[in-house]
Amino acid sequence: MNSDQAPTLCVVGSRRIEGTAAAMQQCARALGWQIQRVYDVDEQVVDERVSLALLEPSQPKQLRSRFPHALLVVLADGAEVADVDADIVLTPCRDAVALNSLLNHAASHWRQQRKSMQLFREVGARRERMRQLSDIALSLSTQIDFDDLLETILLEARRLAGCDAGSLYLLDENSDPPSLIFKLSQTDSLEVTFREQRLPLSSQSLAGYVAQTGESLEIPDAYAIPEDAPYRFNRSFDEKMGYRTRSILVLPMRDHRGKVVGVLQFINRLDPTKNQPIPFGEEVAELLRAVGSQAAVSIQKNLLIRDVNQLFEGFVQASVKAIEQRDPGTSGHSFRVAESTLALLRALPESGNARFKELTLSDAHLREVRYAALLHDFGKVGVREHVLLKANKLSDDRLELLNFRVELQKERLRRQALERELELFHHGKVDLEVARRRVQRELGRQLGLLDDYLDCIRKANNPTVLAEGDFNNLREIRNYAYRELDGTQGSLISDSDLLALSVRKGSLTPDERLEIQNHVSHTRDFLAVLPWPPELAGVPRIAAAHHEKLDGSGYPDGLVDEQIPLPSKVMAVCDIYDALTAMDRPYKSAISAERALGILEEEARSGLLDGDIVKIFIDAGVYESVWGEQRKRVG
């Protein structure tokens, strides 16, 4: 019998071994048990190997925590044992049959206890991995910067796997010939300077083989790859850095269509107790495959966002050119207004004016203002578009999140069912199998209910042309509640989801429909139908308010001071100055910078423009930095 698996008899106390204790030791040795003596008990030390602890009546009561899986047996020998916390009180006995029976019972009890503890720890480990997967999904969903996203993918996956090193490759099928881009490498045990490089797409390398075949590779020892394998491990890094690569796991990253978009390579999974490389194993590989799928979708989403941003930037530029072609007399106007608006906006918190002291300007907000300034005159093209851009009642991202919530709740239910089964096993119910089947039936019912809920959400998400649809089931879904990991109550859909899904005609909620219907100017009409992301949602409002005046005499809405967005007030100053000093307006001559500044000051005194902003525009020399010295000489 292996010594790590053999039961152990522990004799506790200082008295001389004789009689019953000696006979029990003899029987234990005959059964292949380990024997140990403990004289001074350290209650802080836990020994899970002990199957039976033989105690004196005077031993402390806390020994149960010292030997958590053992039967505690007290040798009576006529002494008082009423206050001893023990499982069995044993009177003097040298009967080998009786002692063997006791030892066999203790060994069976010990094995059951260890198995229960192992199951308990496995449940805890799986629960922790589920939490980590949830955290990774949340982390990936919030990453915007592409390089940060890749760093997060590799770092979080390595943490989940508990491995020393890892690499990330992206597949570039558009290059000629197709290639692998070695994007990222991380190593805990070494400090390595990494440089991105492009590699040929070859099945001879581990990453290339996985990228081409879509198969996973788990290699226990990188130096022991069979000779007939189509791939080889490159030892050059190991030889250069004095490193030893052992266990390797290489996984494809597949997007939602199953297409390979990249490769994750993990190196040297470490035993947490010995800090030595060990094989990854199927359970860890399965978890990392899930991470790989999440990573692929996040990468594709990030690339799509980047492409959309580039496309949107190009669209804005093209739109400005369209404005200038429609009205050549304003050539360059939109670009100058955008540049000066950002310059003046940045100057506000640096001006010393207490009103703007706490003003913070994020890159996202400056981008929003820039687009609003570039497109502030787009209404001149006279385009009246009424395109319904909201394809469904919920966005694809929102529907994906609801689907994830349902799947996460399913995993919670499965975990709870497993915990109930573990509890049934631990308490040793006679009708264990009957009880387990009851648990599984209830689990199946609850999982089926969630599938029905998800199907109902998907059907309700499709907009209808006519006012139709029965959405009674949505309230039942809204009332479905569960407990989050932090103890708070969660739900599958929110009130806003319920409101959106309950729309009987089209995909817009009443507020969204009213917002679109209230856009009365050409500029606002056009910008409002564009699918602005949240960080750019203010572009239509900012652009549409640059002709508003503080006293309410402006247009299109007659807004007054506090109702006008700050960027619109800034843009109004820059727009007026450029209109006054522009040399290429066919309907008027340009005026000097001094006269234009005087007009701005007069409008500020009349309560039309913001006086503080006009003063900063002049004091900070924004008009000089943007329009140049030649503007001052125009008369």
- Residue 286 shares a structural domain with residue 156: yes
User: Does 456 share its domain with 408?
Assistant: yes
Domain identity same for 152 and 268: yes
pLDDT tens column, 483-510:
877 778 888 888 888 888 887 766 766 6
Q: Are residues 259 and 290 in the same domain?
A: yes
- Is 124 within the bounds of a domain? no
**Cα angle value 151/153/156 (rounded, 5°):** 100
Residue 222 belongs to domain with CATH number: 3.30.450.40
Residue 582 lies in a domain: yes
Q: Tell me the C-alpha distance between 219 and 285, whole Å.
A: 12
Domain final residue, candidates 469, 501, 533: 501
Cα angle 578, 539, 582 (rounded to 5 degrees) comes to 10
CB 548 within 8 A of CB 557: yes
**What is the number of structural domains in the chain?**
4
Domain assignment of residue 319, yes or no: no
pLDDT given at position 387: 27
State which residues of the chain have pLDDT below 70. 1-4, 14-17, 41-44, 58-62, 77-85, 121-144, 302, 325-331, 379-391, 428-430, 464-470, 505-506, 508-521, 583-589, 628-635
Whether residue 251 is found in the same domain as residue 208: yes
| One domain, residues 195 and 296 | yes
Are 275 and 154 members of one domain? yes
Q: For position 244, what pLDDT does the model report?
A: 93
pTM for this model (two decimals): 0.44
Give the angle subtended at the CA of 250 by the CAs of 280 and 245, to the nearest 5°: 65
Q: In this structure, is residue 290 part of a structural domain? A: yes
The reply to whether 310 falls in a domain is no
Q: Is the same domain home to 222 and 147?
A: yes
408 in the same domain as 362: no
296 in any annotated domain: yes
- What was the pLDDT predicted at 328? 58
Give the C-alpha separation, 631 to 538, whole Å: 32
Residues 385 and 400 in one domain: no
**Residue 495 to residues 320, 372, 483, 488, 501, Cα–Cα distance (Å):** 40, 32, 18, 17, 10
Q: Could you say which of 458, 480, 501 is where a domain stops?
A: 501
CATH number at residue 574: 1.10.3210.10
Q: Is residue 157 part of a domain?
A: yes
pLDDT confidence of residue 248 = 94
Q: Domain containing 563: what range?
A: 327-390+514-632
- If asked whether residues 14 and 79 sit together in one domain, one would say yes
Whether residues 379 and 400 share a domain: the answer is no
User: Which CATH number covers residue 51?
Assistant: 3.40.50.2300
Q: DSSP of 181-231, one letter per residue?
A: EEEEEEESSS------EEEE--TTBHHHHHHHH---EEES-GGG--TT-S-
pLDDT of residue 224: 92
pLDDT for 554 equals 82
Estimate to the nearest angstrom the gap between the alpha carbon of 605 and the chain centroid. Answer: 52
Domain for residue 530, yes or no? yes
